[in-house]
Amino acid sequence: MENTAYIGLGANLGDAAAALRAATDAMGALQGTRVLQCSSLYRSAPVDATGPDYFNAVVALRTTLQPLALLAALQTIEAGAGRERPYRNAPRTLDLDILLFGDLTLDTPTLVVPHPRLHERAFVLLPLAEIAPEHVQPAWLAAVRDQRVERLTSAWCEGR
């Protein structure tokens, strides 16, 4: 059975935009998975962290993978990009988060879907609203309007 999953992408170390492109290609190469749509690329200030600005986007996938298998695959992609986890909210070469997975609600020690901070982060809500506005409540957008986020380009993920 196929499901649509929305993946939040972020990076603020190295060539962050290139890391997001490579991660999107890697996600599209996963077994039973294809990239349906990409949001524009955004730049945002770190939230609850220090370090350089982040590059962010949201990608819609159609996948036959189950949620925990998709999470494991995303973590493998992160590791391949040099992701380290020295402390909470550390700067990173790549961060891939399952934001939504079909209509599923899941709360395990390993994975929570919908993502528990989805509605608190402008860098997730703005790109998600761009490609799946039905999943973003206007009140959520109003609550994050003071977070600094800049839309950069829609061309970063062309050809998908």
Give rounded-to-5 percent helix, strand, coil for the chain. 30, 30, 40
Answer whether 60's CB lies under 8 Å from 36's CB. yes
Say what the pLDDT of residue 140 is. 96
CATH number of 3-151: 3.30.70.560
Average pLDDT over residues 45-58: 87
Q: Crossing angle, helix 16-28 and helix 67-80, to 10 degrees?
A: 140
Residue ranges covered by each domain of the chain: 3-151
Query: What is the rounded distance in angstroms from the CA atom of residue 105 to the CA atom of residue 94?
Result: 25
Say what the pLDDT of residue 88 is. 66
Q: What is the pLDDT of residues 130-148, one digit of tens each?
A: 999 999 999 999 999 999 9
Residue among 27, 53, 24, 54 nearest 39 (CA): 24
- Per-residue confidence band for 98, with pLDDT thresholds at 50, 70 and 90: very high
Answer whether 3's CB lies under 8 Å from 101's CB. yes
Q: Please identify every residue annotated as catalytic.
A: 83, 92, 95, 97
Answer whether 113's CB lies under 8 Å from 104's CB. yes
Give the length of the chain. 160
Average pLDDT over residues 114-119: 94
Q: What is the pLDDT of residues 149-160, one digit of tens each?
A: 999 987 778 654
Q: What is the pLDDT of residues 76-92, one digit of tens each?
A: 999 888 766 655 665 68
Higher pLDDT, 31 or 157: 31
Query: What is the rounded distance in angstroms from the CA atom of residue 85 to the CA atom of residue 12?
Result: 14
Say what the pLDDT of residue 81 is. 82
